[in-house]
Structure 1
């Protein structure tokens, strides 16, 4: 089966021009390779698919061919007359050749990428900052103001937090620099501002904090919302699963069979001593209730600490030791 261009854009088969443009604009901004430096290969593929889908569905001739013959018929060459297809009128055949996806992007957002200067500043602990939301001439703002006021797409910035910050909570202060309209309503100036927001106890990766209309201002445009998205830094001791914390200490085979006490330093600097009296076999776990992450909606409650010991087997046993084990174990 060929590609489903309607699904790629997330629109219905009856979508009109306005819906197609809106879907393309949203997805192209989301998957532009400049906005996905850590996953550029996948972003490039999706960006290309999105542009191809928009190019076909926004052209009534190409869309009609696609609706009747699908992707394979469209790209394989469809007769334009004399075979019942009824497309075109000049005879021969029609074969689709995709336009460079960047060219389509420029038709919407201008020659300069909206991401060139976005979030270019560095982050400092305690006074996180990034600067310059400026999109520059020929950008989204210029291309859309001809149609009246439109809401600019969200400007999203990841905020990387340690597991300790997400456990204890913290206040973030982030400096932004944006374009602000002058009193004449036509020209702009740069202005800096500090946005302050809490990292609440128990926040999870993907949590978003939104500041409405804090993006660049421009004539005929409703400024974008600035959205901070929480990201979680890997931890040296714990793995987080929802509201639970997973701890995987090493235990010797001797300890696994005869018992041990496991010490755990918590994220708020307490030391727990957890006795393990069971025989630890592969897949064994011990749950300590209420020692996981706080629940963001009710920080007084916490998830669990789940201990999953990893058994370290001896690298060598001499014959005498082996014989002793044979006598001891059933």
Structure 2
């Protein structure tokens, strides 16, 4: 069995570039030899394994060869995909297809690229066939406990060059009341700067999928970790989308309740009224009201409000308010008749 780089980095075979970086950062911090003074030899070997795995899986060509041919492909037993002749890979032409060998980067170069620190030499190349060179050690003070504290966000005296994280980027995500009632999926296209292996910055585009859950409220935040621009020595910013609720033509939201106001006449207020509504999910709702409707009266319909996010099977209430239209004038006869009706036993 060859080396399983995916298992070493503790990622799935479908892992994207961001997944690989996060896995590498976590494991490199854990297994660096200076963090394991009582078990330095094993830590050095583990640290080099982690670096080797990241070097292969983060390079599209090396990863393609590894996925198809395994470790043997990386050692030069098979040509890289589409290599043709020499294909720009070291190794010469003798032996034909067996002469290809991918170059590798030293663990300290990889660590410098991911964490933004340089000048930690002495680790040497780890070879294409899994032959791991020894580690000669890192200078204390430049890469000691203070540096590790700064990478965790603490810093401290002598930390030298602490790795900071860019401030979060916040964007408003407008949603209709229907979206927040039923739930929906929104796709957002973002552009960000990402350095290539030479350090040159390239603009890449990515589609982010946001699952809007039924009942989410204005102000709900959805965070995509480290989706900001990438640059050496800086952890990319988190991208945060903040839910905003568009005004609705019929309903107004109050927490988990929905409020609707209906215009009715004084006669309807006194003699009875049937409210006809179309719900946010398109149902026709009929609500007969037999009570006398005063200007402050509310008809409450249980369970016809917004879904409750923590209990999706439950909903708030629908509260119907009324705007009563009073007559602008009454004849003497009408006044007499009303007075007689309202004062009769």
Task: Name the structure 2 match of 1:308.
Answer: 321
Alignment partner for residue 180 of structure 1, among 188, 194, 203? 194
**Cα distance in 2, alignment partners of residues 192 and 308 from structure 1:** 48
Please show how residues 28-43 of structure 1 align to structure 2 within 5 Å: none
Alignment partner for residue 156 of structure 1, among 143, 147, 170? 170
Larger Rg: 2
Task: Name the structure 1 match of 2:182.
Answer: 168
Query: TM-score when scaled to structure 2?
Result: 0.52
Aligned CA-pair RMSD:
1.2
- SS of corresponding position for 1:153: coil
Task: Name the structure 2 match of 1:233.
Answer: 246
Task: Name the structure 1 match of 2:256.
Answer: 243
Query: TM-score when scaled to structure 1?
Result: 0.54
Q: CA deviation at 1:319?
A: 2.1
**Cα distance in 1, alignment partners of residues 300 and 161 from structure 2:** 59
Q: CA deviation at 1:289?
A: 0.5
Say if 1:247 and 1:306, in contact at 8 Å, map to a contact too.
yes
For residues 269-316 of structure 1, give each alpha carbon's deviation from its aligned partner in whole angstroms, at most 9, with x where no partner exists: 111111111111121111110000011122211111011111111122
- SS of corresponding position for 1:326: helix
User: 5+ residue gaps in structure 2?
Assistant: 1-159
State the 4+ residue runs in structure 1 displaced beyond 2 angstroms: none
User: 5+ residue gaps in structure 1?
Assistant: 1-145
Please show how residues 212-223 of structure 1 align to structure 2 within 5 Å: 212-223=225-236
Number of residue pairs matched?
Answer: 184
Q: CA deviation at 1:251?
A: 1.1
- SS of corresponding position for 1:249: strand
Task: Name the structure 2 match of 1:97.
Answer: none
Q: CA deviation at 1:147?
A: 4.4
Matched, 1:287 2:300: yes
- SS of corresponding position for 1:183: coil
- SS of corresponding position for 2:252: strand
**Cα distance in 2, alignment partners of residues 234 and 318 from structure 1:** 42
Matched, 1:199 2:219: no
Task: Name the structure 1 match of 2:223.
Answer: 210
Task: Name the structure 2 match of 1:258.
Answer: 271
Q: CA deviation at 1:318?
A: 2.1
**Cα distance in 2, alignment partners of residues 169 and 305 from structure 1:** 19
Task: Name the structure 1 match of 2:285.
Answer: 272
